[in-house]
Amino acid sequence: MAADSLHHHFVLPGQVLATSMSESEGGFLRGHGTYIELVPDESTDHNDDDMCDTKQQGGMAGTSKKKRSGWGTETKSTVMQMDDGNEAEKQDENDEPSDFQRGPQRLIASVAGTVERVNKLISVIPLSPSIYTGQVGDLIVGRIVGVGGSRWKVSLTCSPPTASASNGSMKEGQLPLSGVNLPGGVQRIRTSEDVLAMRNLFREGDLLTCEVQQVQKDGNLILHTRSLRYGKLDNGVLVTVPPSLVGRRKNHFVTLKGLTSQNSDAMDTEEGGEGDVDVYLGLNGGIWIQRTIPSEWENAIRADQDERAPLAETLQKLRHRHSTTRVSPSMRESIARVRNSVECLRLVHCQITPDSIEIVARASVDQGVRVADMLLPEMVIKLTEGTRR
Amino acid sequence: MTSLQRTDILSLIHLRSDGRRPNEIRHMTCHLGALPPTTDCGSALPSSACSGSAMVTMGLTQVLCIVRGPCDVGRRTEELPDRATLEVTMRTAPFAPPGDRRSTNPTSDRRLIEQSHLLQKALSASILLHLYPKSKISVTVMVLADDGGRLEAAINACTLALIDAGIPLKDMVCACSAGRWNAGGSDEIVVDLNRREIQAATGGASGGGGGNNSGGGGGTSDTIYLPVATMPQRGTVVLSQCESRLSGGAEAFGEVLECARAGCEMVMEVMAAAVRERGAGLWKAREGKATVVLDDW
């Protein structure tokens, strides 16, 4: 089948994927990683044009000259300046320019990757899309890099504020003041006092989880932390990986259970956790690892406070307790183990899923690999064996 | 004492000083992802925000290119409402031999500034900049070793680094040079010149693509050094720079240009192979097949 033959093809930018004759049937729809161009009338003619151009200028025989022949014709000619990707359907709504329907057009790949085809829709999946393009509802693990103008600037690469100011992180997201929950869970209009007190909530350098609320036309992200799950991150480890390695899934907050090695005594259970580790898989490539908050804590806090106290308050207290309680050595070890497992997966370009993390972590426990040795090259290959089947 | 020199022997059997045939390009290797992309937050290196990189070696010329972005424009004045700004910086490594001229300040060398400008023009013909309005794509080229043709190597490296970064391109931009000079009476066109040949083609006074081709240049008829960048899949020329005095007219120029375009096709093949190799490796790793791509060592 034609679709199959096209399926696993690897294409380079500039490679023609399909050509359609005029506005007849059997055309294509433009997906991600491609663009549409009108086929030049006669390609030979086009080339001759170039040559004429060069010859003219070459003939002038000036003492010193620079030129870009053919380029001028290129820009003013046929390329349809269309938005890539996200607004593929926009193409239908807009009144298209009349010459768009005229003449044959062709679909050209703009990134290197594999062709994917769904009926008429042809798109190219890039081999390493290190550029994160947000979608509404994505979980982001980001870092605050700026406070001001009643909004926080959130770096999506989690790079520290100093570095991002100088060399530029990827696009930054905006977290407006109206997108956060005020302490105590009160709902009210934000006042200028709140603006002045913004640093009490998040300050520069803080890590946080948030969700994409809105994607603006130019690709800017508006974030929010209006759910109790989101907020500032403390007392854990951050790993950054290429965003392409984190896929969209149902749940981005996962708990890995029982990763402590058998020989290390799970005796110091004064904090109750049996070595469970929480992993937050940010779609921008930030992965946060922290201990699972033991259920005893929650019960204790619930017992302390009033029956009708809001959930927000309980969670706030839990969070506070989490950020002020030391992490026990055995817990630190399991956190480090998970962290190194993620790093292993990154090094072999493997998709990072709860399963794959667990496979690697479990393999390291079973083989009795010390946490520090997990990142030795031969170990990386050995440990990730399970993810390659 | 008339002794044949090595170069004379080579020219007798129609080989160039480094043993190539006239229509052969230098040995070329490409390495995509030469630097690890977006690494740890903890790393203090400024390259930590790099989203794609490539290393290209053409003969003894070696060039490293790093792409960052698309990211926020630092200054509002540089921001364009409808497309991304493309910022190109080209510099030589401090340990690199002082290529075409005596050692100059690598940051204020005017030839470097000019070449980075040319690079910017050539790349903006290919990058689909309108997809990232109000943002910046910055390309940094580091010349690690210069044996002539660093502009061509830089263009090739930039294309590969942009592909590695996943930035949409209209086409791959490939660059190669061609030149002609009168070598012992015989007039020949060669592709992909090294520094020695460039010096021969530009009158020797100052190499690296010309400079002032002093008054005597008119006497030595047509010596041309012509770096050309094309988009081979659609056959357009995006850059051609000629600084020498031509008396032979348009035909002579056209021949050299054709030769350079043929060279670009060859470069394209090498680059395409490199991209495919990289893609195959990543694809297999992601699919869970046997091959392992270990980057960082």
Q: How far is A384 from chain B (nearest CA, A)?
A: 10
B window 53-72, beta carbon within 8 A of A: 68-72
Between CA B237 and CA A54 the distance in angstroms is 10
List of chain A residues whose C-beta atoms are within 8 Å of the C-beta of residue B209: none
Nearest-Cα residue of chain B relative to residue A39: B234
Q: Is the predicted pLDDT of residue B277 greater than 80, yes or no?
A: yes
Nearest-Cα residue of chain B relative to residue A59: B250
Max avg pLDDT among A77-86, A102-111, A158-167, B119-128: B119-128
User: What is the average pLDDT value for chain B, to the nearest integer?
Assistant: 78
Q: What is the mean pLDDT of residues A285-306?
A: 84
CA A141 distance to own-chain centroid: 9
Residue B115 lies in a domain: yes
* Beta carbons of B51 and A170 less than 8 Å apart: yes
Q: Is A296 on the interface with B (CB under 8 A)?
A: no
Q: Is the predicted pLDDT of residue B216 greater than 80, yes or no?
A: no
What is the model's pTM? 0.75
Q: What is the mean pLDDT of residues A108-127?
A: 85
pLDDT of B98: 62
Residue B4 lies in a domain: no
Q: What is the mean pLDDT of residues A69-81?
A: 35
Q: Is the predicted pLDDT of residue A111 greater than 80, yes or no?
A: yes
A230: left (phi over 0), alpha (psi -120 to 50) or beta: beta
Q: What is the mean pLDDT of residues A71-78?
A: 34
Max avg pLDDT among A185-194, A369-378, B263-272: B263-272
List of chain A residues whose C-beta atoms are within 8 Å of the C-beta of residue B68: 167-168
Between CA A113 and CA A136 the distance in angstroms is 25
* Beta carbons of B294 and A348 less than 8 Å apart: yes
Q: What is the pLDDT of residues B26-62, one digit of tens each?
A: 999 999 887 765 544 333 334 356 778 899 999 999 9
The count of structural domains within chain B is 1
Residue B20 lies in a domain: no
CB neighbour list of residue B99: distance below 8 Å, 6 or more residues apart: B92, B143, B146, B147, B148, B150, B195, B208
List of chain A residues whose C-beta atoms are within 8 Å of the C-beta of residue B72: 168-169, 171-172
Q: Is the predicted pLDDT of residue B184 greater than 50, yes or no?
A: yes
CB-nearest partner of B290 from A61, A349, A388: A388
Looking at this predicted complex, what is its ipTM?
Answer: 0.78
| C-beta separation of B97 from B145 below 8 A | yes
Nearest-Cα residue of chain B relative to residue A54: B254
CB-nearest partner of A169 from B49, B167, B295: B49
- Between A and B, how many CB-CB pairs are < 8 A? 231
Q: How far is A89 from chain B (nearest CA, A)?
A: 16
Least confident of A9-18, A28-37, B96-105, B258-267: B96-105
* Beta carbons of B70 and A131 less than 8 Å apart: yes
Reported confidence tier of residue B287, pLDDT bands at 50, 70, 90: low
Q: Which CATH number fits the domain that encloses residue B231?
A: 3.30.230.70
Residue B105 lies in a domain: yes
Residue B261 lies in a domain: yes
Residue B82 lies in a domain: yes
Q: What is the pLDDT of residues B58-92, one digit of tens each?
A: 999 999 999 887 777 777 788 888 888 999 999 88
Beta strands B85-92 and B135-145, pairing class: parallel
Beta strands A121-126 and A29-30, pairing class: parallel
Residue B191 lies in a domain: yes
Residue B291 lies in a domain: no
pLDDT of B222: 65
Q: Is B286 on the interface with A (CB under 8 A)?
A: yes
Q: How far is B276 from chain A (nearest CA, A)?
A: 7
Reported confidence tier of residue A54, pLDDT bands at 50, 70, 90: very low
Domain range for residue B57?
25-286
